[in-house]
């Protein structure tokens, strides 16, 4: 992670500052863990009352702090040192977004833009914690990422891991927090864009057919039984759970095939763009189609302290093409209503360009995009002032966004999960689903 700060003229150091508050995990005295896994399991039960609009989420995380002024909240009438030089594209709903996003502009009727995202954390890791977990960072506990909560609530479907990260777990707060490591993301471990991309170890080793695999499994279970009766621990439980999932995944041809992005027609691959970003989204679509619950796609390099104009010209077209393709492709397949697409960043960027032609961190106001999954298309929710510095209407907190996502998935945000030490903790606290966004 490229770590920089909101303090002018100063480039903050490398990654480890996240350690400020990270890994304190079991801060409270005894750090009671025995059986917590089972208790959480028991509490899991059926996740929610009510109906789920969305069955899956594709959570696209633009790491570094994507500028709202240059993407979804342009200010064409602000002075040049604010608005920048990228221009605007007219959306098919009568609004404007960045001039570098013409394809998304033409699909705006299928998406909702929140222009009034706001929080108070201007450091990358703290902002990321807000957006990925729906909680402000705490010194006492590390919260689970939304993907881990969904994995905990729903578990695997069609033998696919519930929570998958493409290309990998790109942020420490995409982790399981106080939940067991069993709810962690499965990293596909490579770029779907690369020639010959494949996820390793999904197929049985040569010389091992399904029958022999079955007898190996039986033998391993017997070998393990004595030790497992004796020893307790969350990491042991988590490993058991991963073995069950691995067996299921290995034995399902359909589940394994979902990772095979090369099975897509060349035209389809072109449609998403042969970029890293486009092919990650294409794989996400395959996985969602096959039953995965929560796909996180991480895209880095949005921390533009310097020359944001040229950087955006380089980076945004792939985003425009890939995301527009995803929305429209899902729509054509009849999957858009069941799939919630979320695109966000840890924060936005300062409305005035700095002396280096870049923008610095700005958590007071930024944008997020939602589409599908029961979200009302063509919505613009909230607004910022004339220079994009502060929300002036309908501010939305990361907690509100998280509550919206969980609500659409049919998970009650007020439900409590058990953390170590038997402390029940709300899935989302102080957040309300944004009704205006919901169809």
Partner 1 sequence: MLLYPRICKALVAGIVGLAAAPVWAASLAAFPPKIQLDNARDPQRIVVVKTRDDGVTLDVTKDAIFRVEPATLATWSDQLRLNPAADGEGQIIVEYAGETLSVPLKVQGAGNNPPMSFRNDIEPVIMRSGCNSGACHGAASGKNGFKLTLFGFDAAVDYDNLTRDARARRMDAAKPAESLMLLKPTGGVDHEGGTKIEKDGPLYQMVHRWIAEGANNDPAELPTLTGIEILPPAGVLEGAGATQRFVVQASYSDGTDRDVTDLAVLASGDDAVVAIDGTGLGTSGSRGETYLMARFGTFAMVSQFISIPADTPLNWPDVQPKNFVDEFIHAKLKKMRVAPAEVCSDEVFLRRAYIDTLGVLPTVEEARTFLSDTGPEKRGALIDQLLQRPEFNDVWAMKWAEALRVRSIANVLDPKAMHRYNDWLRQSIQGNKPINELVRELLGAEGGTFTSPASNFYMVVDQPPQMAENVAQVFMGVQIQCAQCHNHPFERWTMNDYYSFSAFFAQVGKKGSSDPREFVVFNRASGEVNHVKSGQVMAPKFLGGAVPDLAGRDRRAVLAEWLVSPENPWFAKNIANRVWEHFMGRGIIHPTDDVRVSNPPSNKELLDELGKRFVAYNYDMRQLIRDICNSNTYQASTQPRDPAIQDVRNFSVAQVRRLPSEMLLDAISEITETKVKFASLPLGARAVQVADGNAGNYFLQIFGRPTRESACTCERKNEPTLAQTLHLINGDTLTNAIQAGDSRLTKRINEQAPTEQIVEELYLAAYSRPPRSDEAQLMLDYVAKAPDRSQALQDTYWSILNSKEFVFNH
CB of 175 to partner 1, least distance (A): 8
Q: Return the structure tokens found at 211.
A: 């029958």
> For residues 288 and 74, is the Cβ–Cβ distance under 8 A?
no
Which positions from 162 to 201 touch partner 1 by CB under 8 A, shown as an x/- string? ----------x--xx----xx-x-xx-x----------xx
What phi and psi values does residue 151 have, to the nearest 5 degrees?
Answer: -60, -40
Is residue 49 at the binding interface for partner 1, with CB under 8 A as the rule?
no
CB of 391 to partner 1, least distance (A): 13
For residues 130 and 122, what is the distance between their CA atoms, to the nearest angstrom? Answer: 11
Quick one: 13 or 50, whose CB is closer to partner 1? 13
For residues 108 and 434, what is the distance between their CA atoms, to the nearest angstrom? Answer: 19
Among 212, 274, 333, 416, interactor with partner 1 by CB under 8 A: 212
Binding residues for partner 1, rule CB under 8 A, total: 79
Quick one: 154 or 406, whose CB is closer to partner 1? 154
Q: Return the structure tokens found at 351.
A: 């409305």
Angle between helices 276-290 and 308-332 (to 10 degrees): 30
> Which residues 367-426 are close enough to bind partner 1 by CB under 8 A?
421-423
For residues 331 and 187, what is the distance between their CA atoms, to the nearest angstrom? Answer: 26
CB of 214 to partner 1, least distance (A): 11
> Which residues 101-130 are close enough to bind partner 1 by CB under 8 A?
120, 122
Kindly state the DSSP code that residue 405 receives in the 8-state scheme: H
Is residue 210 at the binding interface for partner 1, with CB under 8 A as the rule?
no
Kindly state the DSSP code that residue 303 receives in the 8-state scheme: -
Q: CA distances (Å), 399 to each of 68, 160, 224, 300, 406, in order?
A: 19, 28, 42, 23, 10
CB of 82 to partner 1, least distance (A): 14
Is residue 216 at the binding interface for partner 1, with CB under 8 A as the rule?
yes
Among 202, 268, 335, 438, interactor with partner 1 by CB under 8 A: 202
> For residues 369 and 343, is the Cβ–Cβ distance under 8 A?
yes
Listed ranges 68-76, 89-97, 105-113, 246-254: which one lies at the site for partner 1 (CB under 8 A): 246-254
Q: Return the structure tokens found at 136.
A: 């402000």
Beta bridge partners of residue 160, listed in sequence order: 157
CB of 299 to partner 1, least distance (A): 20
> Which residues 268-297 are close enough to bind partner 1 by CB under 8 A?
none
Among 158, 235, 307, 393, interactor with partner 1 by CB under 8 A: 235
Is residue 355 at the binding interface for partner 1, with CB under 8 A as the rule?
no
Is residue 41 at the binding interface for partner 1, with CB under 8 A as the rule?
no
Sign, CA torsion 372/187/173/9: negative
């Amino acid at each position: 992670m490229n770590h920089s700060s909101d303090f002018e003229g100063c480039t903050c150091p490398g990654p480890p500052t996240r350690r400020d508050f990270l890994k304190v995990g079991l801060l409270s005295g005894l750090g009671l863990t025995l059986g917590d896994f089972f208790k959480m399991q028991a509490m899991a039960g059926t996740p929610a009352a009510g109906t789920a609009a969305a069955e899956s989420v594709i959570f696209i995380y633009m790491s570094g702090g994507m500028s709202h002024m240059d993407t979804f909240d342009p200010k064409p009438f602000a002075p040049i040192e604010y608005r920048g030089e990228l221009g605007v594209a007219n959306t098919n709903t009568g609004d404007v977004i960045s001039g570098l996003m013409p394809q998304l502009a033409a699909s705006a009727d299928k998406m909702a833009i929140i222009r009034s995202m706001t929080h108070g954390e201007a450091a990358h890791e703290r902002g990321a914690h807000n957006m990925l977990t729906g909680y402000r960072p705490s010194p006492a506990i590390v919260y689970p990422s939304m993907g881990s909560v969904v994995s905990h609530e729903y578990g695997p479907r069609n033998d696919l891991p519930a929570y998958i990260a493409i290309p990998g777990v790109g942020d420490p707060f995409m982790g399981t927090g106080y939940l067991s490591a069993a709810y962690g993301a499965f990293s596909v471990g490579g770029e779907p864009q690369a020639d010959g991309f494949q996820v390793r170890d999904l197929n049985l080793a040569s010389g091992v057919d399904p029958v022999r695999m079955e007898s190996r499994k039986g033998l391993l279970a017997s070998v393990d039984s004595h030790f497992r009766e004796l020893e307790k621990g969350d990491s042991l439980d988590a490993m058991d759970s991963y073995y069950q999932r691995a067996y299921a995944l290995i034995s399902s041809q359909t589940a394994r095939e979902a990772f095979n992005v090369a099975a897509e027609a060349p035209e389809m691959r072109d449609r998403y763009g042969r970029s890293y970003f486009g092919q990650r989204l294409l794989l996400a679509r395959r996985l969602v189609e096959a039953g995965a619950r929560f796909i996180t796609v991480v895209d880095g390099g949005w921390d533009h302290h310097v020359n944001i104009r040229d950087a955006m010209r380089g980076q945004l077209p792939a985003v425009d093409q890939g995301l527009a393709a995803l929305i429209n492709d899902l729509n054509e397949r009849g999957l858009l209503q069941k799939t919630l697409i979320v695109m966000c960043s840890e924060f936005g960027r300062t409305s005035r360009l700095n002396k280096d032609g870049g923008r610095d961190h700005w958590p007071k106001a930024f944008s997020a995009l939602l589409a599908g999954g029961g979200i009302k298309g063509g919505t613009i929710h909230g607004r910022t002032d004339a220079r994009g510095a502060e929300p002036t209407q309908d501010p939305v907190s990361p907690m509100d966004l998280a509550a919206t996502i969980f609500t659409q998935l049919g998970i009650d945000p007020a439900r409590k999960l058990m953390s170590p030490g038997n402390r029940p903790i709300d899935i989302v606290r102080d957040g309300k689903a944004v009704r205006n966004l919901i169809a």
